[in-house]
């Protein structure tokens, strides 16, 4: 966003009340933040999680995803769940309230994903945090930091209906998806591909009152119908669409939009004016795609839009530069790392201006997953900060794989556990003995992928 030239207002200095002092402060309640806060909380650390919405799940609920990707890998041709630890507990809790499907085949049969009910996920995430002794602070937008020194954060400022306040912490974990905390603290980062070009966002919607028997096969049929319509001159926002039955068979979700600025660039998730434009354009595209599906696809004649996701789905903004950046070569070559904190089996899934490009590690020749190194969640320059989830240290291409839910759970759990161990050892997270972290993660059920 461009501030108007020559126009600014000098704000008076002020004293801000300290709302609380915590050993661990987590920003963001997506998969990374849920796992980070739960791991720190159950280690006995006083932990607060700050979230701008009134519910958890991040893009998994706020952007309407309803589908865990990246929990599984194609291991020499066999589908296997490879992300464990807190992810297992979330799945178990979802099963108990009938909120999750068995894994299904995705991306042309090469990998599995797992569909969940979004409201069940919100409830399960609440329960997990409370059971772990974490204090969730909802409806609080983080708005800046106070620094203790050039490389240490003292407090995060929040804005809410109760006014401005500060939360002091000893270790901070940035799980905002956008690297907000790291950015304010002065950690280095790249935006999009480094030249500002980001993966294109999408607004998701769900349709209800679909006739499940007649809609059978709609997933394959819809892209074909779109192709035929394109040959006759119709222009869709993107090539192909992923339209899939949900947990309840009369409900189908559509990932069928692609949100561009009028100049063709991707709408930026860290530009408030572009986001405002994008929300409206996203809803317009949802309506347009819904009309097409309703008129052309058997089983959808009486369907209606039951919801458009509360917010545009942002795939990529800031990637905070850490001690190592996970890259496409690591994904396609199933890389191993001495400081592994878990694994990722999702392929590279690049959302370009008009299409989605998918690249897998060789199947069935390879083990189908790469390890994730601790160094990718340790940012440069700031000593009491860890960065987990889609804003962790990855190249633009590496990010197209490891940004999905499975690896975000892995990074979050490792960050929360590392915060505890670093506090216990009295060292900054970057100086942590990684073997002690690996031991703890394995004891708590994480699969590090060391046996293959
Ligand atoms: C359209 C779309 C479809 C996708 N499909 C899938 C899929 O099917 N399966 C899958 O696994 N992944 C999918 N992904 C990717 C995946 O959902 C995300 O990359 C993942 O949720 C990232 O997790 P995270 O915890 O890093 O961040 P997020 O999920 O983005 O969570 C960040 C949280 O931080 C909060 N926050 C941010 N800034 C602030 C602030 N300043 N103050 C307070 N709170 C703040 C946000 O409200 C949010 O809750 C998709 C993404 C998109 C955009």
Q: Would you list the DSSP string of 41-104?
A: HHTT--EEEE-SSSSS-THHHHT---EE-SSEEEETTEEEE---THHHHHHHHHHHTT-BPPPE
For ligand 1, mutation pick of 25, 28, 33, 386 (most atoms within 8 Å of CB): 28
Q: Tell me the average pLDDT of the chain.
A: 95
Backbone angles phi, psi at 253, to 5 degrees: -105, 150
pLDDT tens per residue, range 421-437: 999 999 999 999 999 99
End-to-end CA distance of the chain: 48
Percentage, residues of the chain above pLDDT 90: 91
Alpha-carbon distance 378 to 399, whole Å? 16
The mean pLDDT of 301-311, rounded to a whole number, is 97
Q: Are 84 and 445 in contact (CB under 8 A)?
A: yes
For ligand 1, mutation pick of 39, 65, 272 (most atoms within 8 Å of CB): 65
* Closest ligand 1 atom to Cα of 51: 44
Backbone angles phi, psi at 180, to 5 degrees: -60, -50
At 377, the pLDDT band (50, 70, 90 cuts) reads very high
The mean pLDDT of 20-31, rounded to a whole number, is 98
Question: In this model, does residue 305 exceed pLDDT 90?
Answer: yes
At 3, the pLDDT band (50, 70, 90 cuts) reads low
Q: What per-residue confidence (pLDDT) applies to 195?
A: 81
Q: What per-residue confidence (pLDDT) applies to 275?
A: 98
Residues whose beta carbon lies within 6 Å of some atom of ligand 1: 27-33, 50-53, 58-60, 62-63, 65, 67-70, 141-142, 175-178, 180, 201-202, 204, 255, 313-315, 389-390, 403-405, 408
Lowest mean pLDDT among 44-58, 193-207, 267-281, 321-335: 193-207
Q: Are 394 and 375 in contact (CB under 8 A)?
A: no
Q: Which residues pair with 159 in a beta bridge?
A: 141, 164
Could you tell me the distance, in angstroms and rounded to a whole number, from the CA of residue 58 to the centre of ligand 1? Answer: 4
pLDDT tens per residue, range 13-23: 999 999 999 99
pLDDT tens per residue, range 99-122: 999 999 998 899 999 999 999 999
Residue ranges of alpha helices (H) inside 194-327 are 212-215, 218-231, 272-296
pTM, two decimal places: 0.97
Q: Output the six-digit token pair for 140.
A: 């609080």
DSSP category for residue 382: -
Q: Output the six-digit token pair for 158.
A: 């929040």
Backbone angles phi, psi at 280, to 5 degrees: -70, -45
Q: What per-residue confidence (pLDDT) applies to 406?
A: 98
Which residue's C-alpha comes closest to atom 2 of ligand 1?
313
The mean pLDDT of 313-328, rounded to a whole number, is 96
Backbone angles phi, psi at 136, to 5 degrees: -85, 135
Could you tell me the distance, in angstroms and rounded to a whole number, from the CA of residue 146 to the centre of ligand 1? Answer: 25
Give the 3-state secondary structure percentages of the chain, helix then strand then coil, rounded to 5.
30, 25, 40
Alpha-carbon distance 106 to 399, whole Å? 19
The mean pLDDT of 83-108, rounded to a whole number, is 96
The mean pLDDT of 336-344, rounded to a whole number, is 98
DSSP category for residue 137: E
Q: What per-residue confidence (pLDDT) applies to 240?
A: 86
At 215, the pLDDT band (50, 70, 90 cuts) reads very high
Could you tell me the distance, in angstroms and rounded to a whole number, from the CA of residue 14 to the centre of ligand 1? Answer: 33
Q: What per-residue confidence (pLDDT) applies to 138?
A: 98
């Amino acid at each position: 966003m461009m501030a108007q030239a020559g126009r600014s207002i000098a704000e008076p200095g002020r004293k801000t009340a300290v709302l609380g002092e915590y050993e661990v402060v987590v920003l963001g309640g997506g998969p990374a933040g849920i796992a980070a806060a739960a791991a720190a909380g159950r280690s006995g650390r006083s932990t607060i999680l700050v979230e701008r919405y009134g519910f958890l799940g991040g893009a998994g609920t706020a952007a309407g995803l309803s589908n865990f990707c990246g929990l599984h890998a194609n291991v020499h041709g066999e589908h296997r769940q490879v992300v464990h630890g807190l992810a297992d507990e979330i799945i178990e809790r979802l099963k108990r309230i009938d909120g999750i499907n068995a894994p299904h085949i995705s991306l042309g049969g090469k990998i599995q994903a797992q569909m969940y009910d979004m409201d069940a996920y919100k409830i399960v995430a609440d329960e997990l945090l409370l059971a772990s002794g974490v204090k969730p602070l909802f409806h609080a937008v983080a708005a800046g930091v106070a620094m203790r020194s050039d490389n240490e954060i003292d407090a995060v400022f929040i804005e809410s209906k109760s006014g401005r306040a500060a939360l002091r912490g000893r270790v901070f974990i940035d799980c905002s998806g956008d690297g907000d905390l790291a950015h304010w603290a002065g950690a280095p980062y790249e935006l999009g591909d480094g030249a500002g070009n980001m993966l294109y966002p999408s607004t998701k919607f769900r349709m209800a009152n679909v006739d499940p028997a007649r809609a059978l096969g709609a997933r394959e049929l819809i892209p074909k119908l779109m192709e035929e319509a394109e040959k006759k001159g119709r222009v869709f926002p993107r090539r192909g669409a992923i339209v899939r039955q949900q947990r309840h068979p009369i409900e189908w979700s559509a990932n069928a939009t692609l949100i561009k600025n009028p100049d063709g660039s991707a709408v930026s998730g860290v530009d408030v004016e572009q986001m405002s434009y994008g929300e409206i354009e996203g809803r317009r595209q949802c309506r347009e795609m819904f009309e097409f599906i309703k008129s052309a696809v058997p089983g959808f004649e009486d369907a209606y839009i039951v919801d458009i996701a509360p917010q545009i789905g942002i795939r990529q903004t800031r990637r905070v530069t850490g001690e190592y950046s996970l890259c496409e070569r690591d994904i396609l070559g199933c890389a191993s790392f001495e400081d592994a904190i878990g694994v990722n089996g999702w392929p590279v899934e690049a959302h370009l201006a008009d299409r989605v490009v998918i690249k897998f590690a060789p199947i069935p020749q390879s083990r189908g997953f790469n390890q994730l190194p601790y160094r990718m969640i340790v940012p440069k320059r700031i000593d009491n900060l860890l960065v987990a989830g889609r804003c962790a240290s990855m190249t633009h291409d590496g990010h197209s794989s490891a940004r999905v839910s499975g690896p975000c759970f892995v990074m979050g759990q490792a960050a929360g556990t590392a915060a505890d161990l670093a506090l216990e050892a009295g060292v900054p997270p970057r100086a942590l003995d990684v073997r002690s972290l690996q031991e703890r993660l394995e004891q708590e059920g994480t699969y590090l992928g060391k046996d293959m």
